[in-house]
Amino acid sequence: MNKTIRFLFILTLLAAGLFGCAGGDDDDPGSSPGQAQDDDDDNQADDDSPTPSPTRTVSILVPADAPEAARIAANDAAELLDRVPTLRVLVGESLAADGQTINIVVGDPGILHSAFTDTELAAMTAESFRLRRTVLDGAIVYAIAGADPRGLQYGLYDLLEILGFRFFHPEQTYVPDEATLVWPEELDIFEAPDWPRRGFHVHTMHPIEASEFLLVASPRNLTYAKHLIDWLVRNKQNYWQFELLRTVDYDAMAPYFQALVDYSHARQTDAGLVVTWVFQQQKAWKLLPNPYTEQRAHLEERLAQIMQVNWDHLNLEMGSTEFTQVQDTLQVAWMNDTVEYLAANYPATEASVKVHCSSEQTAPNYGDINFNYLAQVADQRLGIYPHTVMYYGFQGPAPVYGNKNFDELYDWMLSMIDGVRKVYYYPESAYWCSFDIDVPLFLPVYLYNRWRDIALLADKNLDGHVTFTSGHEWGYWLTDWAIGRFLWDSTQDWTDALADFTVIFGDAAPQLTEALRQLTLLQQKALIDQNLASYLAGEDTWDELGYLFGSTTHPQPVTFAELYRLSAADLNRFETKVVGNLEQMRDRLTDLVALVETARADVPSAALPWYEELADGFAVDFYRAGHAYHLYAGAGARRFHELGLAADGEAVAQDHFGKARAIKQFFLAAQERREAHYRYPLDYSIGWERSVTSYDFHYLYQAATGYWYERYEKQAIDKDFNPLLMNLIDPMWFFF
């Protein structure tokens, strides 16, 4: 089958709705799309068959004096197990020795000393756990020993994963059905984490769902926030932080924030807050009113205000924007003043600073070092968070923020590991701003490069890894879920995480694992090695103004405006280097979409919702690559015609443009279908409204409207090159 016929065949299948057909992936299959969901309701597709009666009893034993975290985890596990129709679940304090009941014992000292030796229990390290199946006086026992409360709860959730549960998303857990839930006859496990601090920065500067439920107080929002914390614990993470914005009345919100911290502490998870000294962009919350003097008294007053809530950690942002610095001696003074004040008044609260990957800023009073590296001359009690962006990592190119790669940041980070200063790696699993989830693109290449960095750094004695996350729809939960696994066990291969995900697909698992593996490696080659990232990402007014003024964040493409000015020689090179590679990527995605579709018949009903999201992810990658290819091929054909080198160039261009417009319609249908299964209220995800962030829209608004597709078409077809084309951002609201 030639390329054109195969491409049209796949489009026909997509139009018929065979990809991403409606499935019951809302946590409550009977609720309306966009309504608040119960975070743990099961994932079953709609099924009219009668609910089977319980055939087995499970008793979860928790001592009366167990730590609060263990009791919360036990009740959570009971609720999860109760969603398996064939199980009757109890929470108690004594063994059932009938030879049939499954006893899950969480930290009971008497029983544990029968299940484990004293040597085994004494050898446990921080946050570690042991799991063992045994029979005690006729009772079937799955015993869980934890070195501490964290270890106890991690061990319990590990047992649930062994049974088949998967904690993919804060609002949706995969629950195995009675056919796939198997109690192992043999079980003897010891596990301990490879990284000390494991967690996420929830980037509430972006208008993601969490900017609503973390920065706006309401009972519903508190429930969502607790679900996020539960999700962290279930995936063996011990830390989280989010960004405070100056649109928030901190004093009024302090009780709400304290409730978040209290619940986090009840679940043995540390909570951090991100603030800035004088950072101006994106509504950042500032400790100081201006960047001109030290203002120590004002700084201390504002820190005391922040510490109304007993945060475990304050992470701070340097400079006045990502691209602009302040006086270097003042920046160092603010760092030292902050550390000294917290150490004297709130010694349990750690202070650290984000070290951005931006370039071309220097500190003239400190030997012209990179301004972002000023922590090296500050108090050693100030921790550092070296920050990379997008799916780029420490291995390979990174053509962003004025860099060619992140080699310098990597070397500097390692040089700062001295046994005193805390060092945490701070990469991203989504960038959002016109780059990935808002297009949308499904990008398991994020998972791959986070794994590569984690494996690279595993033996470098860092104090932790905290991932910038900007939303979980369109399969972005998969990257964050996998990162959690890599941080717990850094010996895992990235394909192990794929297999741990696809196991829910039963007989279809090998085929879907292979499809994901191939997609990931295709993205690594095409988006990073061939730099096609700049053609599949979006561009808005602010990206284009950045190109004009030299403050780019993204990889920079040949824009349509530039293409229409190319000479014949340059156009020929562009056709080979870019258009040809886009076509090849489109063709490979055609094959991968077909590979995913042929697995459909073998997917168990319990896994269908997850399959549908996966299939939709492959489909939107296919659409975006095809759309970009046809627009650039069409613009190139038109340019050849304008140069007098192709008599039929305009006709060829119109053919390509027609195909691009058709692809946009296919995309919009897929987007609408997926949108019906978003896990949060739709106004949190796609709404157009002025919120606490610096945006008038929520993070998937552009995806919902096909914004990037439409803007590309206006540029390629209509030759509308005004940088203000379809501008959505109010600069006054953004910066002030």
Do the strands 188-191 and 129-136 form a parallel or antiparallel pair, or are they unpaired?
antiparallel
30 pLDDT tier (thresholds 50, 70, 90): very low
State residue 55's pLDDT score: 85
Adjacent-strand bridge partners of 273: 242, 314
Q: Cα–Cα distance between 394 and 460 in angstroms, integer?
A: 14
Q: Copy the structure tokens of residue 3.
A: 């390329």
- Fold annotation for 197-490: TIM Barrel (3.20.20)
Longest CA–CA separation in the chain, Å? 91
Asked whether residue 32 carries a pLDDT value surpassing 90, the answer given is: no
546 pLDDT tier (thresholds 50, 70, 90): confident
Per-residue 3-state assignment (H helix, E strand, C coil) for 15-29: HCCCCCCCCCCCCCC
State residue 23's pLDDT score: 37
Helix axes 445-457, 476-488, angle to 10 degrees: 20
What is the average per-residue pLDDT within 615-635?
99
Any idea where the domains of the chain sit in the sequence? 3-27+517-735, 56-191, 197-490
Q: Cα–Cα distance between 140 and 99 in angstroms, integer?
A: 6
- 659 phi/psi in degrees, rounded to 5: -65, -40
Per-residue 3-state assignment (H helix, E strand, C coil) for 616-667: HHHHHHHHHHHHHHHHHHHHHHHHHHHCCCCCCHHHHHHHHHHHHHHHHHHH
Count of C-beta atoms within a 10 Å radius of residue 385: 25
**Per-residue model confidence as pLDDT tens digits over 400-449:** 999 999 999 999 999 999 999 999 999 999 999 999 999 999 999 999 99
Q: Cα–Cα distance between 501 and 507 in angstroms, integer?
A: 13
**Per-residue model confidence as pLDDT tens digits over 709-725:** 999 999 999 999 999 99
Asked whether residue 4 carries a pLDDT value surpassing 90, the answer given is: no
Q: What's the Cα-to-Cα distance from 136 to each of 57, 110, 113, 115, 255, rounded to whole Å?
A: 17, 12, 11, 8, 47
Per-residue 3-state assignment (H helix, E strand, C coil) for 64-95: CCCCHHHHHHHHHHHHHHCCCCCEEEEEECCC
Residue 88 Ramachandran class (φ > 0 left, ψ -120 to 50 alpha, else beta): beta
What is the average per-residue pLDDT within 533-549?
90
Least confident of 6-20, 434-448, 527-541: 6-20
Q: What is the mean pLDDT of the chain?
A: 93
DSSP letters for 403-454: -SBSHHHHHHHHHT-SSSS-BEEB-BS---TTTSTTTT---THHHHHHHHHH
Domain 56-191: CATH superfamily is Chitobiase/beta-hexosaminidase domain 2-like (3.30.379.10)
**Per-residue model confidence as pLDDT tens digits over 556-603:** 999 999 999 999 999 999 999 999 999 999 999 999 999 999 999 999
**Per-residue model confidence as pLDDT tens digits over 662-701:** 999 999 999 999 999 999 999 999 999 998 999 999 999 9
Q: Which residue has the tokens 């109010």?
A: 730
State residue 664's pLDDT score: 98
Count of C-beta atoms within a 10 Å radius of residue 634: 25
Q: Which helix (H) or strand (E) holds 60?
A: strand 56-61
549 CB-near residues (< 8 Å, 6+ apart): none
Per-residue 3-state assignment (H helix, E strand, C coil) for 350-410: EEEEEEECCCCCEEHHHCCEEHHHHHHHCCCCCEEEEECCCCCCCCCECCCCCCCECHHHH
- 455 phi/psi in degrees, rounded to 5: -65, -40
Asked whether residue 376 carries a pLDDT value surpassing 90, the answer given is: yes
422 CB-near residues (< 8 Å, 6+ apart): 350, 352, 383, 384, 463, 464
Asked whether residue 2 carries a pLDDT value surpassing 60, the answer given is: no
Q: Are 385 and 426 in contact (CB under 8 A)?
A: yes
Provide the CB-side half-sphere exposure for 126 (13 A, CA): 6
Asked whether residue 388 carries a pLDDT value surpassing 60, the answer given is: yes
DSSP helix/strand/coil, 32:
coil
**Per-residue model confidence as pLDDT tens digits over 199-238:** 999 999 999 999 999 999 999 999 999 999 999 999 999 9
**Per-residue model confidence as pLDDT tens digits over 63-120:** 999 999 999 999 999 999 999 999 999 998 889 999 899 999 999 999 999 999 999 9
- Distant-in-sequence contacts of 671-674, Cβ < 8 A, 24+ apart: 671/440, 671/620, 671/703, 671/704, 671/706, 673/17, 673/20, 673/21, 673/22, 673/616, 674/20, 674/473, 674/474, 674/613, 674/616
**Per-residue model confidence as pLDDT tens digits over 311-370:** 999 999 999 998 899 999 999 999 999 999 999 999 999 999 999 999 989 999 999 999
How much of the chain, in percent, has pLDDT values that exceed 70? 93
State the Cα torsion 45-48-49-54 to the nearest 10°: 70
**Per-residue model confidence as pLDDT tens digits over 246-293:** 999 999 999 999 999 999 999 999 999 999 999 999 999 999 999 999
